[in-house]
Amino acid sequence: MLNGNIRSTKNGKTLLMVGIIFIAFTLRPAITAVGPLVGSIRTDTGISNGLAGLLTTLPLLAFAIMSPFTPKFAEKIGNEWCVLIGLLTLGTGIITRSIEMLGFLFTGTILIGLGIAICNVLLPGIVKRSFPQKVGLLTGIYTLSMGLWAGVAPGLSTPLAEGMNLGWQVSLGVWSVLVFIAVIIWLPQLKSKKFSVTLPPLESTNSSIWLSPIAWQVTFFMGLQSMIYFSFTAWLPEILHSEGMSISASGWMVTLLQFSGLPANFIIPVLADRLPNQKGIALGIGAFSFIGLAGLLSSGNPIISTISIIFIGVALGAAISHSLTLIGLRSANAKQAADLSGMAQSVGYLLAALGPFLIGYLFDLFHSWTIPLILLGAVSLLMTLAGFGAGRNQYVLQQKRKEASTTIA
């Protein structure tokens, strides 16, 4: 007979894992589907490239605003109910954005960001709590799931909008179906409202994660890799289209970018969980990113561009899964993981929000993609340095505890 806590049994944990996977399915399509449709949206609404960049930037700003409040919100009503609210907000945003009015376009986009932010912040803590010995494996599974649909969405955007004559509104709205399915699968988790956390010895409940240097390095790694990711998601179709590629084909190149990172989505968290430190992973991610960006800068040749996109895709696939894994590895318990996740995704996505808007602005200013790509190269360097520091084998408040112990002695 099952006890009151559904996750205390094997079947309960399996159902929870399936729920996490389906939530992961919903966390990127609403954003990645926009890139191939930017031209159509811009034509229909008359907005500039800078404002079009806001369609990707606004969700990131919503991530930044919502993320630090999410752990406290979850403590009051429970992680499971909080995740449900996030999914419902996301679904409402997708439907609202599809209404053919400029105000609804941006309002829905903000709601999408708020909904995704809630789920983004809570998933690492749920994994840390329910699968403490398999953080890398479970993180790999849900980032792989997230990356899979993130890749499918941009490839389908243009065929749905133009090939099936549905228009960009319906093309963006179809992703509400995934959210509906995720809600249904998540409903059994609502039987459990809250979780308790036992803090490790010497951990002061008054200690602030915001004072931890390694927490800031995790945060900067999260933010800078996200800046690169969302910049490419928003503008890669336009970059390739300017080189002579059709907008439909360039949409599928975004899919290639996403799919190239799928093996890394799964492998990197498992590898990171087994290594004594993760500094080498950061260096490898940086190297792949630099090679890909150099290829895009050096030639408009379609073959070289394709190879470059694959390198960038591998780097970004590794980076997102690694940043989420670092949240678990650098945290001593589920509460710390939720707090670090809130910090990393708040400040991190505030940094990331600069990317799509700044790239669009620089293109409007210089009428060339060279300067924007050079900027992303500089961001890659900073990301690598942050990841190298975040790869140290210690918890975010570990140094603070050591210093307290030394003072007492």
Count CB-CB contacts under 10 A for residue 402.
Answer: 12
Distance CA(345)–CA(337), nearest Å, equals: 12
The pLDDT-based confidence of 401 (bands split at 50, 70, 90) is: very low
The pLDDT-based confidence of 199 (bands split at 50, 70, 90) is: very low
Cβ atoms of residues 69 and 346 within 8 Å: no
Does 3 score more than 50 pLDDT?
no
For residue 5, the SS3 value is coil
Percent of the chain with pLDDT over 90: 37
Q: Burial level of 143, CB count in 10 A (0-12/13-18/19+)?
A: buried
Residue type at 170 in one-letter notation: V
Count CB-CB contacts under 10 A for residue 85.
Answer: 16
Distance CA(376)–CA(72), nearest Å, equals: 34
Asked whether the CA dihedral 180, 165, 111, 376 is positive or negative, the reply is positive
The pLDDT-based confidence of 223 (bands split at 50, 70, 90) is: very high
Q: E strand or H helix at 162, and its extent? A: none
**Residue the block writes with tokens 């004559």:** 165
Q: Please tell me the total number of residues recorded for the chain in this structure.
A: 409
pLDDT at 196: 40
Does 271 score more than 90 pLDDT?
yes
pLDDT at 310: 96
pLDDT at 203: 40
Average pLDDT over residues 191-200: 47
194-198, 307-311, 387-391, range with the lowest pLDDT: 194-198
pLDDT at 177: 95
Does 404 score more than 80 pLDDT?
no
pLDDT at 192: 57
pLDDT at 317: 92
Q: Which domains does the chain have, with CATH numbers?
A: 6-195+207-399 (1.20.1250.20)
228 versus 150: the higher-pLDDT residue is 228
pLDDT at 187: 93
237 versus 95: the higher-pLDDT residue is 95
299 versus 117: the higher-pLDDT residue is 117
83 versus 125: the higher-pLDDT residue is 83
Percent of the chain with pLDDT over 70: 90
Assigned token pair, 63: 């991530």
Cβ atoms of residues 119 and 27 within 8 Å: yes
pLDDT at 386: 96
Does 50 score more than 80 pLDDT?
no
276: phi then psi, degrees, rounded to nearest 5: -65, -30
The pLDDT-based confidence of 207 (bands split at 50, 70, 90) is: low
33-42, 151-160, 245-254, range with the lowest pLDDT: 245-254
Assigned token pair, 291: 């090679």
The CB-side HSE value for 140 (13 A sphere, CA atoms) comes to 14
Does 9 score more than 70 pLDDT?
no
100-104, 131-135, 192-196, 293-297, range with the lowest pLDDT: 192-196
Average pLDDT over residues 200-225: 77
247 versus 222: the higher-pLDDT residue is 222
